Amino acid sequence: MKILVIGGGGREHAITWRLAQETGVRLWASPGNPGIARVATCLAPPRSGVDGYLQVADSIQPDLTVVGPEAPLVAGLTDAFQSRGFRVLGPARNAAQLEASKIFAKHVMAEAAIPTAGYRVTQTPDEASACIRDFRYPLVLKADGLAAGKGVVIADNLPEAESALRTLRSSFGPRILIEEFLQGEEASFIVLSDGRNVLPLEASQDHKTIHDDDKGPNTGGMGAYCDGRILTAAQTAEIMDRVIRPTIHYMEAQGTPFSGFLYAGLMMTQQGPKVLEFNVRLGDPEAQSLLHRIQGGFANALFAAASGKLGGVTLDWKSSPSVCVVLASAGYPDQPRTGDPISGVEQAEDTGAVVFQAGTRAGATALETAGGRVLGVTAAGVDLRQAIDNAYRGVAAIHFDGMQFRKDIGRKGLKRW
């Protein structure tokens, strides 16, 4: 089977790394990165946008295209590929609105009675200003539209909310969602769907802020772990019954079926799970920890989901937990510096860790940094403690100037062991 993976980050390295271990799979990636190039043929799209990827697909004639990031899905890659006769895993543009518009997602949640934070949608600056005077604090302000993790602000008081409103409006436009602040532990619950059938993945947990103990500004994610103890069987059943199945059924009933990876970002509150956001793809870095634990059946599951035939399909999971520690460049998340030489990737891999590459490029003499999140050092262990230690042993082998990483990835999960 010829598979083309769209994207060039750590998540796409994890997808191609996993697929490369399965028999009968030949792999291409576009644009890919130096890590992905070790397991797949990387092709730069000849021009930007969906048309560039279509040209790549025309030259390969893949049996399956797997889309990693949200932007090409929101831009209609799936629609364009399907009308050219290509089989694609990833939602069509209409269904990708679940991530592209937080207001659309709230509308779906209201219609399908899916538990989420109480909210108001404001369309004008006056409406928003009036709303933040009435609302209970802390409150959460969210821009509508894709904001690469920068569109959410938690405000503790009115002056903070006013200042956040100004910033969000000037960066992302006037439509602002104002939302109740929820307390609890977050979990990432991702499922694979063919539009009707659902195959849940194990739960994982991201670490969103740049500093330890959930301090500092939000990032795309500084590390993740995947461990069967994050949710109980009862919690998983409740999430499937109250969040996932109602969403999939609602989208199908609307004539905009969701096929691909549906990611529910959840707050596990005292009243049960509540949805913080939907994403229409695998999380990054959650994917790195998830795919490290999948033993087999991945290519088959992706092909089945893209073909409307996911019923009865299963995945084979390792029981050992996994941990992915992200190494970020100097200046991330605000102004990531690029061009710093990276050393120690092979030594890290000699410790048994897998080093997924994200913002890297081949420099004149060595691999060098080329983006905010640079590497994701991933390892397993017989228990979570050992998985954490193994991942950090890999981290210790790697160096680049200004390297930032959190020291507490996975620590929250230790209380469940």
How far apart, in whole angstroms, are the C-alpha atoms of residue 323 and residue 205? 10
β-strands 176-180, 139-143: how paired? antiparallel
Q: How far is the CB of 74 from ligand GLY (least distance, A)?
A: 14
Positions touching ligand GLY (CB under 6 A) are 206, 221, 279, 283-284, 286
Q: How far is the CB of 181 from ligand AMP (least distance, A)?
A: 4
**How far, CA to CA in Å, does 167 sit from each of 119, 164, 396?**
20, 5, 38
Q: If contact means CB under 5 to 8 A according to the sort of partner, which of ligand AMP, ligand GLY, none does residue 179 touch?
A: ligand AMP
Q: If contact means CB under 5 to 8 A according to the sort of partner, which of ligand GLY, ligand AMP, none does residue 117 touch?
A: ligand AMP
How far apart, in whole angstroms, are the C-alpha atoms of residue 400 and residue 415? 33
DSSP state string for 202-213: PPEEE--EEEGG
Q: How far is the CB of 181 from ligand GLY (least distance, A)?
A: 19
- Which residues share a beta bridge with 402? none
> Which of 188, 390 has the CB closer to ligand GLY?
188
Q: If contact means CB under 5 to 8 A according to the sort of partner, which of ligand GLY, ligand AMP, none does residue 333 touch?
A: none
The CA angle 222-165-163, to the nearest 5 degrees, is 85
How far apart, in whole angstroms, are the C-alpha atoms of residue 409 and residue 417? 15
Q: If contact means CB under 5 to 8 A according to the sort of partner, which of ligand GLY, ligand AMP, none does residue 186 touch?
A: ligand AMP
> Which of 276, 302 has the CB closer to ligand AMP?
276
Residues for the chain: how many in total?
417
The CA angle 262-268-273, to the nearest 5 degrees, is 60
Q: How far is the CB of 279 from ligand GLY (least distance, A)?
A: 5
> Which of 80, 201 has the CB closer to ligand GLY?
201
> Which of 177, 304 has the CB closer to ligand GLY?
177
Contacts 24+ apart (CB under 8 A), 314-318: 314/199, 315/199, 315/201, 317/202, 317/293, 318/293, 318/294, 318/380
Q: If contact means CB under 5 to 8 A according to the sort of partner, which of ligand AMP, ligand GLY, none does residue 223 touch?
A: none
Q: If contact means CB under 5 to 8 A according to the sort of partner, which of ligand AMP, ligand GLY, none does residue 181 touch?
A: ligand AMP
What is the chain's alpha carbon radius of gyration, rounded to the nearest angstrom?
21
272, containing H or E segment: strand 272-279
Cβ count within 10 A of residue 250 = 17
> Which of 43, 327 has the CB closer to ligand GLY?
327
Q: How far is the CB of 116 from ligand AMP (least distance, A)?
A: 8
Q: If contact means CB under 5 to 8 A according to the sort of partner, which of ligand AMP, ligand GLY, none does residue 286 touch?
A: ligand GLY
Q: How far is the CB of 290 from ligand GLY (least distance, A)?
A: 11
Closest residue to ligand AMP using C-beta atoms: 277
Q: How far is the CB of 177 from ligand AMP (least distance, A)?
A: 9
> Which of 202, 284 has the CB closer to ligand GLY?
284
> Which of 218, 254 has the CB closer to ligand AMP?
218
Q: If contact means CB under 5 to 8 A according to the sort of partner, which of ligand GLY, ligand AMP, none does residue 276 touch?
A: ligand AMP
Closest CA to 180 of 65, 302, 275, 281: 275
Residue 2: alpha-carbon gap to chain centroid? 24
> Which of 18, 150 has the CB closer to ligand AMP?
150
Cβ-proximal residues to 161 (8 Å cutoff; 6+ apart), any chain: 132, 135, 137, 139, 141, 155
The CA angle 108-184-70, to the nearest 5 degrees, is 45
DSSP tag of 334: T
Positions touching ligand AMP (CB under 6 A) are 117, 140, 142, 152, 179-182, 186, 208, 265, 276-277
Q: If contact means CB under 5 to 8 A according to the sort of partner, which of ligand AMP, ligand GLY, none does residue 227 touch?
A: none
> Which of 131, 294 has the CB closer to ligand GLY?
294
